[in-house]
Amino acid sequence: MTTATPDYIPGLQGVVAAETRLSSVDGQLGELIIAGFPLEEIAENATFEEMTYLLWYDTLPDRQQLADFRARLAAYRALPGHTLDLLRAAAEQQADFMDALRMAASTISLRTPDEPDDEYRDALALVARFPLIVAAYWRLVNKQEPLPPRTDLSHAANYLYLLNGTEPGVEQTRALETYLNTVVDHGLNASTFTARVIISTQSDMVSAVAGAVGALKGPLHGGAPGPALDMVFEIGDAANTEPYIRAKLERGERLMGFGHRVYKVRDPRADVLGRAAEILYQTGGDSKLYALARHVEQVAVALLEEYKPGRNLQTNVEFYTALLLHGLGLPTALFSPTFAISRVVGWIAHAFEQQAAGRIIRPQSVYTGTRNRRWVPLERR
Ligand code: ACO
């Protein structure tokens, strides 16, 4: 009796590998629900601390719960000496920002004697310290000393403060919170799946998050916004848009910030971030850049339909991420790490869910190698 060969599904496209209450992605309708809320409603209203509480506890906090949660998070808002030492060494080697974040995140496994050894502590420390790690590394690479964090500021405002040394305005903080809320969770994307696979082996939270950072680094996932913005800068003027994009597509290159495995209509996150970017640029920014980006988007979508008919390649989240983060004064090197500052909350929420599910994730493979080989001793090869 022969055993049936299971079907191989490249890229696991369409495979359902988890149940989650965290987010629902409808790629045909262009709808994203975060813990029961339409993205458009929650992203523009919640603080990032409220969003984190919602994902971890499945309810919005009341005033007291929020104050307690903010205080618990802020208590981890300091980088131990060993984390700073590692970042200094990485800065000397000019290590990639995502590599520096992954290495520094792993130091959270080194507990000081007064810190409890439990994964809820690790979860809080990871979320609280991600912005500190990124900002410290940015300053070290630029030959500046990291600034001491401020526990009186919100999670988002403290990040901007640590980068620039000045307290951000209300508009800047709101724009960053809207961004962080928008990208906090998105179904079973590659980095979240990575985190779930790692935690499903009963490994630990820091390992799950460090692995997820590695998955997010790639340009097909979290590494696209930098190149998306570079493209707008290279175009420079609306008149250059069509020849520039046409030439790229003729060369068979991909346009960063367009196309998505799940969305076959416009990514709803692009709308939320496009609106947030518009408000930010109106309150003091390069409005010409904003107008150019809108134009590039229109031309790109039209030419993608011409060159890849029927593939429904639309604007994804990364295009407006680039514009929004640039408007906040962030350099492109910080785009992917800032994505991680948000997504770490989703990774951890998924890891908690996966632990509750309690089953190791272990798919199968189809063997395509040779059979019936016979051992040949070294002297006869
Ligand atoms: N520009 C040009 N052509 C594209 C693009 C693009 N951005 N995206 C897909 N295509 C083409 C492919 O070349 C392929 O063409 P073919 O059928 O003639 O070979 C077809 O469209 C289908 O593409 P796939 O690679 O099968 O689509 P998949 O679902 O595997 O990929 C992905 C999705 C990786 C996001 C892809 O659209 C891409 O590379 N986009 C650019 C990078 C990017 O913006 N990444 C961020 C994604 S959002 C996020 O992860 C947070």
Delimit the domains of the chain by residue range: 23-220+340-357, 226-327
In angstroms, rounded to a whole number, what is the distance separating the alpha carbons of residues 28 and 323? Answer: 25
Mutate to test the pocket of ligand 1, among 12, 273, 313 (most ligand atoms within 8 A of CB): 313
Query: Which CATH code is given to the segment(s) 226-327?
Result: 1.10.230.10
Per-residue pLDDT tens over the stretch 149-202: 999 999 999 999 999 999 999 999 999 999 999 999 999 999 999 999 999 999
% of the chain surpassing 70 pLDDT:
98
308 lines ligand 1 (CB under 6 A): yes
Nearest CA-CA partner of 97 in 127, 159, 140, 143:
140
- Give the CATH superfamily of 23-220+340-357: Citrate Synthase, domain 1 (1.10.580.10)
Task: Return the higher-pLDDT residue of 184 and 118.
Answer: 184
pLDDT tens, residue by residue, 229-254: 899 999 999 999 999 999 999 999 99
Residues 101-110: tens digit of each pLDDT: 999 999 999 9
326-339 pLDDT, tens per residue? 999 999 999 999 99
C-alpha distances in Å from residue 314, one per residue of 67, 310, 324: 40, 11, 18
User: For residue 242, how far is its CA from the centre of ligand 1 (angstroms)?
Assistant: 20
DSSP labels for 65-87? HHHHHHHHHHTT-S--HHHHHHH
Distance between terminal CA atoms of the chain?
Answer: 37
Closest atom of ligand 1 to 228 CA is 44
Q: What integer pLDDT is reported at residue 360 of this predicted model?
A: 96
Locate the ligand 1 atom nearest the alpha carbon of residue 316 and give its number: 48
**What is the model's pLDDT at position 2?**
57
Å from CA of 261 to ligand 1 middle: 7
The whole-chain average pLDDT of the chain stands at 94
> Distances from the Cα of 13 to the Cαs of 2, 29, 30, 343, in angstroms?
27, 18, 18, 22
Q: What is the pTM of this model?
A: 0.91
**Structure confidence by residue, pLDDT tens digits, 7-60:** 899 999 889 999 999 999 998 999 999 999 999 999 999 999 999 999 999 999
Q: Check residue 221 and give its pLDDT.
A: 82
Three-state DSSP at 61 gives coil
CA-nearest residue for atom 37, ligand 1, is: 259
Ligand 1, atom 39, lies closest to the CA of 220
User: Does the beta carbon of 215 sit less than 6 angstroms from any atom of ligand 1?
Assistant: no
Nearest CA to ligand 1 atom 9: 259
pLDDT for residue 114: 76
Candidate list 155, 186, 221, 260, residue with the active-site label? 260
The edge-to-edge listing of strands for the beta sheet with 23-26 is 23-26, 31-34, 37-38
Q: Which secondary structure element, helix H or strand E, spans residue 247, and what is its range?
A: helix 241-250
- Tell which atom from ligand 1 comes closest to the C-alpha of 186: 51
The answer to whether the CB of 340 is under 6 A from ligand 1 is no
Q: What is the DSSP string of 304-356?
A: HHHHSTTS---B-HHHHHHHHHHHTT--GGGHHHHHHHHHHHHHHHHHHHHHH
326 catalytically annotated = no
> How far, in Å, from the CA of 314 to the mean position of ligand 1?
10
318 in catalytic set: yes
pLDDT at 373 over 80: yes
Q: Provide the pLDDT for residue 1.
A: 55
Structure tokens at 22: 């965290």
Q: Say if strands 31-34 and 23-26 run parallel, antiparallel, or are unpaired.
A: antiparallel
Give the SS3 label for residue 31: strand
pLDDT score, position 273:
95
